[in-house]
Amino acid sequence: MNAIYSVSFTLDTYAHVLDDHKEENMALMSELYNAQPTTPADITYPVIVTNLEDGEVEITVCGCPDITYSGDNLAAGLQYIKDCLSEKVLTDPYPPIPPAAPLLPNQMLLYISP
């Protein structure tokens, strides 16, 4: 049995394989680093509007307990919610995932896109 124990033989035989893998991986890394961030602007979030007894409304975004509005102006409240949600989606590295929204009898369900 005749075996060749040579570093140069091994490099001559297999080094091109390593170079090919290195080039493929470098191209993949370049794609990852140059990729444009995606924004989940096409995701809609369920918003629950609760009619309170005093004529005011309370608006909450499902999955975002820190975004709420209480007041007597529904249009202004919805705009405020939309603005807060847009800011959260754009600034949070892990935007919230909208969950299902259970409703009570005095509530209305809307969907808002940031």
Please tell me whether residues 84 and 52 are part of one structural domain.
yes
Is 83 a residue whose pLDDT tops 80?
yes
Within a domain: 99: yes
Does 60 share its domain with 98? yes
Q: Residue 89's pLDDT is what? A: 80
Among candidate residues 39, 80, 76, the one with its CA nearest the CA of residue 61: 80
Give the structural domain span for 31. Answer: 1-35
Angle at CA of residue 100, ends 98 and 106, nearest 5°? 115
> In the prediction, which pLDDT does 76 show?
93
Residue 67 counted as domain residue: yes
State whether 31 and 84 are in the same domain.
no
Task: Identify whether residues 31 and 56 lie together within a single domain.
Answer: no
How far apart are alpha carbons 67 and 70 in whole angstroms?
Answer: 11
The CATH number of whichever domain residue 101 belongs to comes to 3.30.160.250
Residue 25: Cβ within 10 Å count: 10
Q: Is residue 40 part of a domain?
A: no
- Report, as an integer, the average pLDDT of 38-55: 78
> Are 68 and 31 within one domain?
no
d(C-alpha 93, C-alpha 79), whole Å:
23
Spatial separation of the C-alpha atoms in residues 20 and 11, rounded to whole Å:
14
* Average pLDDT rounded to a whole number, residues 60-86: 90
Give the separation between CA 66 and CA 102, rounded to whole angstroms: 18
Which pLDDT band, with edges at 50, 70 and 90, does 3 fall under? Answer: low
Q: What is the pLDDT of residues 20-42, one digit of tens each?
A: 778 888 888 888 777 665 555 56
pLDDT of 106 strictly over 80: no
**49 and 76 housed in the same domain:** yes
Residue by residue, DSSP assigns 38-105 as: P--TT--EEEEEEE-TTS-EEEEETTEEEEEEEES-HHHHHHHHHHHHHHHHHH-SSPPPP------T
What is the overall mean pLDDT for the chain? 79
Position 11 in a domain:
yes
User: What's residue 22's pLDDT?
Assistant: 82
Claim to verify: residue 74 and residue 106 sit in the same structural domain: yes
